[in-house]
């Protein structure tokens, strides 16, 4: 069954090619398609395209279908092999059960805006799940930063020994990185959280529909007002979301690379329980950081996602094009992958062991050269003279140093400002206002 088919069957080869993996991806959209249908049917009754009795009958059946889209249902929602997509399947179920009343559900809309609203509801939901998944990971990083704030660690530039750092700084750096990442997720959420329903095929409808009502019913913050832009925004919304995912992925990939280095015996800064590492088939001493290597690779692939979507939508004019269908296959699975990476990173870092007294090893002595320069400056020596003096001592093999450091300004070893970083994260999380969406959906399904 196809919503657009009349009397002539499509060539089977053409059908298989054009449908592709759409049924598989559409199963993820099923609950959101039902929600869009409920809101649309409710609105249609207010403008006389459905009677109240027809609306109530549709809503009862749609809510029953919604139950089947939930993971715990004993008879899960499926798309019949002869049905093109999720939209057709739901309309087929309504028509099969309700006859002509079911056929009325598609009035005043196109499959184009139906797909759009489904995707936006799905992305909105997935962004919320991702943000909720990031929060405990962020909190772990803050806690570990405080726990290990006195454990010094060599800092590197160009992968060469640079200056003293600390595990407090290292964990806290990734915590603050997540604040910026969640800020970009919030920007993506704002773009996604706008209602395209009612834009129809991209040029609006001659029916006097009430788009403000469906916006309120679905808990959207606002409308995509211009109907042409509502359609044009498909591809753009996915790209913006992909970029936000890529930012989180970049943080995880960099952290994973650090861990792979720090676990290496030549660094020997950290360790993990044996059961969280893997071994070698011939080298009995090996404890490999496979989890972090896979996180790194998964996340680097996600970092390529914005570019994939950009290339796939390059030079498309306004209006709908079938190219856009393929974006789901690239973007949708990325959420599950990224969430899995976050969960694994949380497990690993909750069980990390940090080596003590790392910087007492003489091989790190030159990391304290800047400290010695600064001591001379505090005694009144001009910086350039102090820099030259310490440099000559190093070259002559006469460099003396102390491992005691006193960094006090904001965001440094002795003043991590983790409370400020926590406050920034709390503020950006609160700005999502997830509760408004929850209340709207609960009311819609009541």
Instruction: Walk along the chain (446 residues) and give the pLDDT tens digit of each residue.
Output: 454 455 556 667 876 776 667 777 889 999 999 999 999 999 999 999 999 999 999 999 999 999 999 988 888 999 988 888 899 999 999 999 999 999 999 999 998 999 999 999 999 999 999 999 999 999 999 999 999 999 999 999 999 999 999 999 999 999 999 999 999 999 999 999 999 999 999 999 999 999 999 999 999 999 999 999 999 999 999 999 999 999 999 999 999 999 999 999 999 999 999 888 876 667 767 778 899 999 999 999 999 999 999 999 998 888 888 888 889 999 999 999 999 999 999 999 999 999 999 999 999 999 999 999 999 999 999 999 999 999 999 999 999 999 998 899 999 999 999 999 999 999 999 999 999 999 999 999 99
Residues 188 and 256 in one domain: yes
Q: Which domain holds residue 377?
A: 362-395
Residues 257 and 389 in one domain: no
The answer to whether residues 134 and 142 touch, using CB atoms and an 8 Å cutoff, is no
Residues 182 and 54 in one domain: no
For the chain, how many residues are written? 446
Residues 99 and 140 in one domain: no
Residues 126 and 253 in one domain: yes
Spatial separation of the C-alpha atoms in residues 124 and 178, rounded to whole Å: 19
Residues 25 and 136 in one domain: no
Residues 229 and 189 in one domain: yes
Residue 285 lies in a domain: yes
Residue 403 lies in a domain: no
Residues 70 and 175 in one domain: no
Residues 146 and 56 in one domain: no
* Radius of gyration for the alpha carbons in the chain, expressed in angstroms and rounded: 28
Spatial separation of the C-alpha atoms in residues 322 and 101, rounded to whole Å: 30
Name the 3-class secondary structure at 305.
Answer: helix
Residue 37 lies in a domain: yes
Q: List the beta bridge partners of residue 415.
A: 412
Residue (of 103, 79, 170, 75) closest to 412 by Cα position: 170
164: left (phi over 0), alpha (psi -120 to 50) or beta: beta
Residues 233 and 86 in one domain: no
Q: Name residues whose C-beta falls within 8 Å of residue 200's C-beta, 6 or more positions apart in sequence.
A: 108, 109, 110, 112, 113, 227
Please provide the distance, in angstroms rounded to a whole number, between the alpha carbons at the two ends of the chain. 31
Residue 429 lies in a domain: no
Entry pTM: 0.92
């Amino acid at each position: 069954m196809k919503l657009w088919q009349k009397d002539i069957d499509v060539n089977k080869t053409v059908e298989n090619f054009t449908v592709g993996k759409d049924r598989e991806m559409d199963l993820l959209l099923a609950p959101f398609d039902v929600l869009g249908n409920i809101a649309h049917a409710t609105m249609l009754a207010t403008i006389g395209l459905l009677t109240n009795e027809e609306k109530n009958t549709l809503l009862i059946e749609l809510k029953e279908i919604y139950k089947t889209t939930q993971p715990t249902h004993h008879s899960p929602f499926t798309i019949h092999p002869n049905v093109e997509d999720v939209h057709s399947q739901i309309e087929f179920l309504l028509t099969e059960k309700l006859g002509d009343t079911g056929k009325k559900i598609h009035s005043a809309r196109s499959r184009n805006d139906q797909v759009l609203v489904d995707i936006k509801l799905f992305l909105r939901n997935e962004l919320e799940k991702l943000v909720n998944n990031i929060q405990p990971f962020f909190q772990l990083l803050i806690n570990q930063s405080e726990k290990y704030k006195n454990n010094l660690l060599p800092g590197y530039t160009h992968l060469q020994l640079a200056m003293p750092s600390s595990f407090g700084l290292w964990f806290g750096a990734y915590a603050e990185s997540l604040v910026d990442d969640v800020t970009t997720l919030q920007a993506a959420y704002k773009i996604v959280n706008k209602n395209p329903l009612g834009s129809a095929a991209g040029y609006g409808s001659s029916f006097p529909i009430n788009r403000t009502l469906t916006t309120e019913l679905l808990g959207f913050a606002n409308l995509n007002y211009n109907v042409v832009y509502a359609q044009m925004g498909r591809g753009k919304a996915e790209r913006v979301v992909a970029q936000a995912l890529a930012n989180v992925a970049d943080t995880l990939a960099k952290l994973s690379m650090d861990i792979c280095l720090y676990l290496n015996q030549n660094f020997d800064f950290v360790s993990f329980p044996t059961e969280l590492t893997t071994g070698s088939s011939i080298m009995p001493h090996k404890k490999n950081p496979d989890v972090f290597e896979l996180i790194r690779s998964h996340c680097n692939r996600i970092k390529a996602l914005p570019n994939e979507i950009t290339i796939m939508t390059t030079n498309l004019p306004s209006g709908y094009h079938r190219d856009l269908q393929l974006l789901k296959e690239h973007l949708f699975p990325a959420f599950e992958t990224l969430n899995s990476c976050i969960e694994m990173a949380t497990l690993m870092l909750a069980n990390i062991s940090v080596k003590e007294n790392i910087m007492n090893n003489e091989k790190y002595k030159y990391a304290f050269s800047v400290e010695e320069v600064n001591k001379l400056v505090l005694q009144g020596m001009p910086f350039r003279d102090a820099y030259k003096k310490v440099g000559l001592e190093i070259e002559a093999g006469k460099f003396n140093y102390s491992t005691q450091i006193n960094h006090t300004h904001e965001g440094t070893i002795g003043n991590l400002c983790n409370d400020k970083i926590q406050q920034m994260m709390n503020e950006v999380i609160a700005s999502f206002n997830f509760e408004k969406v929850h209340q709207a959906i609960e009311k819609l399904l009541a």
